[in-house]
A and B are shown apart, each in its own frame.
Chain A
């Protein structure tokens, strides 16, 4: 059976079928949890920001001008929630590394080395300045173009390019240190 489109689910929710919203949660939860986790650095904050984004999206659903692109609209809300959460709280203990290691356990070659390398990547990403981390994740992980990033963040393309460049330089320094250690 063909899955309902975002627009079809949004229409059902706006007709009063609040339970239909669950379909949108299922559809975007994992992908957006990944972004929140990389931005905020721990599972608890990430899930809280994502839950907040979903709740805000539900409340503001009548304002979603293009329901077919609900996902993009929700992502914009999430990016803002992550910014707010990042400035409001100090970083809590990172708890996702163990989960990541579990996910990487099936890796076919040198799983321990690979898990350790992944942990170094996470650590380096979280040592970036928040605005650089945001730009790097949007560009490299979410694979957005600079124009899309600019629309999403409200930051100019030139500034975003600079942030990505600085992020790459910093990551290169941090990860090279690990390799040379």
Chain B
């Protein structure tokens, strides 16, 4: 026979519902990590700016768009010359996020963003825990507003983004855009293939 007088689950539950003590520094630790992340307001602004909508195209806008495309294309040529040893990559891998060297499980990928007014650019993605402070993914200014970093990315499908000045999330304008399912922020897609 079960001894339900001794083992009373309501009593057990009452005991387990009693408060527990949390380290006094807990709040500060949480807020430290939160405050290191990009603020939401500017990300939302970026999202609004990048949400598809109907716009009127004037000849002036067409001209600016064409000039931008020419700029991106010319930068692509410059980088291609700098990395002549680099094998040609399929366009789906993105023009500026391009694998340049191989290991058995990861490839070095060069990420490039044109951001003339930026003071800091980092790459975040599922390959670095979306950590904008990750040392290996801090882009360096190359002149002419061009920022780039070459960093290891595991073989496979990945989502990534640039974080400008610790606050503005910017999808790679040259890479396929993916529907975000994690943070409501713009993401780009990259496929890193094993050389073997």
Q: Which residues from A are CB-within-8-Å of B21?
A: 43, 96, 99, 102-103
Closest Cβ of chain B to A72, distance in Å, is: 18
Instruction: Offer 29 A-B interface pairs, CB within 8 angstroms, sorted by A.
Output: A13-B40, A18-B39, A21-B34, A25-B27, A25-B30, A30-B20, A30-B22, A33-B22, A33-B26, A34-B17, A34-B19, A43-B21, A46-B20, A47-B22, A58-B34, A59-B37, A60-B182, A62-B47, A62-B183, A62-B185, A99-B21, A100-B20, A140-B12, A171-B12, A172-B3, A172-B7, A175-B6, A175-B7, A179-B7
Task: Check A172/B20 contact, CB under 8 A, given A15-B41, A16-B41, A25-B30.
Answer: no
Closest Cβ of chain A to B42, distance in Å, is: 7
Name the CB-closest residue of B to A63.
Answer: B184
A62 engages B27 (CB within 8 Å): no
Among all A-B residue pairs, the 9 with the closest Cβ atoms:
A16-B41, A62-B184, A140-B13, A99-B21, A172-B7, A141-B16, A14-B40, A34-B20, A33-B22
Q: Which residues from A are CB-within-8-Å of B20?
A: 30, 33-34, 37, 46, 96, 99-100, 103
B40 engages A55 (CB within 8 Å): no
Q: Which residues from A are CB-within-8-Å of B43?
A: 62
Q: Is B196 an interface residue (CB 8 A)?
A: no
Q: Which of A19, A51, A118, A137 contacts B15 (CB 8 A)?
A: A118
Q: Which of B18, B40, B47, B183 contacts A104 (CB 8 A)?
A: B18
Q: Is B31 an interface residue (CB 8 A)?
A: yes
A137 to B27, CA, bound (A): 25
Q: Is A129 an interface residue (CB 8 A)?
A: no
Q: Is A81 an interface residue (CB 8 A)?
A: no
Q: Is A89 an interface residue (CB 8 A)?
A: no
Q: Which residues from A are CB-within-8-Å of B42?
A: 16
Q: Is A168 an interface residue (CB 8 A)?
A: yes
A96 to B40, CA, bound (A): 36
- Residues on B lying within 8 angstroms of A by beta carbon are 2-4, 6-7, 9-10, 12-13, 15-23, 26-27, 29-31, 33-35, 37, 39-44, 47, 130, 182-185
Name the CB-closest residue of B to A96.
Answer: B20
User: Contacts A30-B22, A34-B19, A171-B12 given; 4 further ones with Cβ under 8 A?
Assistant: A16-B39, A26-B27, A63-B182, A100-B20
Mostly helix, strand, loop or mixed at chain A's interface?
Answer: helix
- Residues on A lying within 8 angstroms of B by beta carbon are 13-16, 18-19, 21-22, 25-26, 29-30, 33-34, 37-38, 43, 46-47, 50-51, 54-55, 58-63, 96, 99-100, 102-104, 117-118, 121, 125, 137, 140-141, 143, 168, 171-172, 175-176, 179
Name the CB-closest residue of B to A99.
Answer: B21
Q: Which residues from B are CB-within-8-Å of A51?
A: 26, 29-30, 33
B30 engages A16 (CB within 8 Å): no
Q: Which residues from B are CB-within-8-Å of A34?
A: 16-17, 19-20
Task: Check A125/B16 contact, CB under 8 A, given A47-B23, A55-B33, A63-B184.
Answer: yes
Of A37, A51, A59, A125, chain B has the most CB atoms within 10 Å of the CB of A59
A103 engages B19 (CB within 8 Å): yes
